[in-house]
Structure 1
Amino acid sequence: MPREPGDKPKTSAYDRALGLLARREHSRRELKLKLRQKGYEGDEAGDAIDRLGEQHYQDDERFAHSLVRSRVAQGYGPMRVQAELRSHGLSDARIRAVLDEAGVDWDASALAQLRRRFGGGSAPDREEKARRAQFLLRRGFPAATVRSVTHADVDDAADDA
């Protein structure tokens, strides 16, 4: 079937995925989803992603390390980072390994977030301590970390939410 003048040939799934990876790291799951949204069939998308992996252009391990560095720099806690990595299809064992390799001092990170948000002073009352604790819990810090840096009464059930 002849092309009309001005019609562009459809970009291959490989080229589309390579273009996405040129901008930033992506997980296999994320690439597959983006390719499907652009109309590429499952086999074509899967083959393209496999080829990119063989050529070391796509690597879930490298993606995970990049995401952890980024989220730690943004001030998020380990539970938030774990949830995001899980949503990208990484296994729990791989997530634990990547977080361990990152060597983040989560207490220091939580304290830095408190100082950035609330200044250097301590909370004057229980209500303010609770407000600060909720801030850290929303950012993905575990209850034990929140307790140690805010001295607020925090229920461990917050870790399960």
Structure 2
Amino acid sequence: MHQAQQKQQKLSLKNRALHYLFLREHSRLELGRKLVRFAQEEDDVEALLDFLEKAKFLSCERFSEALVRRRSESYGNSRILAELQTHGLDPLLLAQSKAELAESEVARACAVWQKKFAHTINPTEKTTPEQRAKQIRFLAQRGFSSSAIRVALRGEVDELDGMD
């Protein structure tokens, strides 16, 4: 009977892992943390994670790409990279993600600024220092670099100058 319970536990652990992966991509570390609560032994979780990686159900590359794609619409490089680091990814994978993100940070900062502030700008008035500080804080809290913020705000100023 003890073997039957262990087999049922492993099946349920495997089913639980597949369910988590069906919902979204997970890193090995993240999935392991979720599964360890339900395992009788930590070795069961490690063996299952090895199986899932070998069967291509679990992939840190896919997880990294999915997280970057999901977060890049709203956040800057430093915020996304910090989140990737918390998932225990390979440093080579982090460097690859950093290079991909660097190419689009300015455009993403401009898009986030546009979405948040474009409708509040009056084309006939100059932006006040308080408004500008608020915009800078907003973009900085979202993890955009100071150079990307400067370009995004300069784009706003160029837009206003063109409307005069």
Counterpart code for 1:110:
A
Determine the structure 1 residue equivalent to 2:161.
none
Distance change >3 Å, CA 102–CA 55, structure 1 → 2: farther
Q: Does 1:67 align with 2:67?
A: yes
Query: How many Å apart are 1:18 and its aligned residue?
Result: 1.6
Query: How many Å apart are 1:36 and its aligned residue?
Result: 1.1
Identity %: 33
Q: Which runs of 5+ in 1 are unaligned?
A: 3-8, 152-161
Cα deviations by residue, 1:98-129 (Å, 9 ceiling, x for unpaired): 24246752111111111111115376111111
Distance change >3 Å, CA 37–CA 25, structure 1 → 2: same
The structure with the greater share of residues assigned to helix is: 2
Separation in structure 2 between the aligned mates of residue 117 and residue 40 of structure 1, nearest angstrom: 49
Distance change >3 Å, CA 40–CA 20, structure 1 → 2: farther
Determine the structure 1 residue equivalent to 2:90.
91
Say if 2:79 and 2:142, in contact at 8 Å, map to a contact too: yes
Query: How many Å apart are 1:147 and its aligned residue?
Result: 2.2
Determine the structure 1 residue equivalent to 2:37.
37
Determine the structure 2 residue equivalent to 1:136.
139
Say if 2:76 and 2:145, in contact at 8 Å, map to a contact too: yes
Distance change >3 Å, CA 82–CA 103, structure 1 → 2: closer
Q: Which runs of 5+ in 2 are unaligned?
A: 3-7, 155-164
Determine the structure 1 residue equivalent to 2:116.
117
Query: How many Å apart are 1:91 and its aligned residue?
Result: 3.3
Q: What number of residue pairs does the alignment pair up? A: 144
Separation in structure 2 between the aligned mates of residue 102 and residue 142 of structure 1, nearest angstrom: 12
Query: How many Å apart are 1:12 and its aligned residue?
Result: 3.7
Query: How many Å apart are 1:72 and its aligned residue?
Result: 1.1
Task: Give the TM-score normalised by structure 1.
Answer: 0.79
Separation in structure 1 between the aligned mates of residue 143 and residue 128 of structure 2, nearest angstrom: 23
**1:46-65 alignment, distance < 5 Å:** 46-65=46-65
Determine the structure 1 residue equivalent to 2:151.
148
Determine the structure 1 residue equivalent to 2:25.
25
Moved more, 57-66 or 138-147: 138-147
RMSD (Å), alpha carbons = 2.1
Larger gyration radius, structure 1 or structure 2: 2
Cα deviations by residue, 1:113-156 (Å, 9 ceiling, x for unpaired): 111111153761111111100000111101221122225xxxxx
